[in-house]
Amino acid sequence: MRMRKKKNLDTRFAACANVMITEPQMQKGKWHEVFSNENPIHLEIGCGKGRFIMEMAKRHPEINFVAVEREEGALIMATEKARELELSNLKFMSFDAAQLGDVFEHEEVDRIYLNFSDPWSPNRQRRRRLTHADYLDVYNNILRETGDLCFKTDNQRLFEWSISSICEYGWLVQNISLDLHNSELAKDNIMTEYEEKFSSQGFRIYRLEARRRLPQFMDRRRPVRKPE
């Protein structure tokens, strides 16, 4: 369900200029200058109202966080809250995930978070899934050699499909949980707004981590392509 359009967005976003990156392409290769330090960079694609990424930023001041969100209603709520918290290690931007290679230099990102991404149709719209090979091409370019991807969803079919997609791409899938909230990983888990809502209704939460392309697959690297 799409959020209702918020009022006075231009004025409200202008008031959040200290946490918003309005021209992200200009920061390519310069993100450490944005944060004025050399700390690792973690990226969340689809941050929603920002609960997860803000809590991560509070817990880990030694890490720089960048959050991407296309839905303006959710983004303004996230940026206004972040402005109140005065987190110097967190920035937000509105950008197409398929074009993140225009925003981050090769191997500029240390970790990517995908939390409860839209499952899309597995037939006609599967290439819009954020774990499709087209997007993995993008991640493979911007992630460091030791970088990884953290993926959470309540959709079992999407989770199973994503495991196949990631493995076929040649990445190492690890730390798989088929019931996150009843696993050892739960103690360090930070819930998103969506996650809290659906887990309270009895839905299982699925989680995995994936590391960049294994060395034996490196000669098969494909050029980055835009999803159709």
Question: Which residues are catalytic, by number?
Answer: 118
Please tell me whether 69 is known to bind a ligand: yes
Phi-psi group of 72: left, alpha or beta (phi > 0 → left; psi -120 to 50 → alpha; rest → beta): alpha
**Side-chain half-sphere exposure of 10, counting CA atoms within 13 A:** 0
Contact present, 162 and 115 (Cβ < 8 Å): no
Please tell me whether 134 is known to bind a ligand: no
CA angle 50, 54, 56 (to 5 degrees): 125
The DSSP secondary structure of 107-145, one letter per residue, reads T-EEEEEEES-----TTTTGGGSTTSHHHHHHHHHHEEE
Please tell me whether 86 is known to bind a ligand: no
Please tell me whether 148 is known to bind a ligand: no
Alpha carbon distance, N-terminus to C-terminus of the chain: 23
Please tell me whether 195 is known to bind a ligand: yes
Please tell me whether 96 is known to bind a ligand: yes
Please tell me whether 62 is known to bind a ligand: no
Tokens representing 16?
A: 């959040």
Please tell me whether 55 is known to bind a ligand: no
Residue with tokens 């953290």: 150
Contact present, 173 and 161 (Cβ < 8 Å): no
Please tell me whether 194 is known to bind a ligand: yes
Distance in angstroms (rounded) separating the CA atoms of residues 45 and 95: 9
Q: What are the binding residues for S-adenosyl-L-methionine?
A: 44, 69, 96, 118
Q: What are the binding residues for substrate?
A: 154, 192-195
Q: What are the binding residues?
A: 44, 69, 96, 118, 154, 192-195
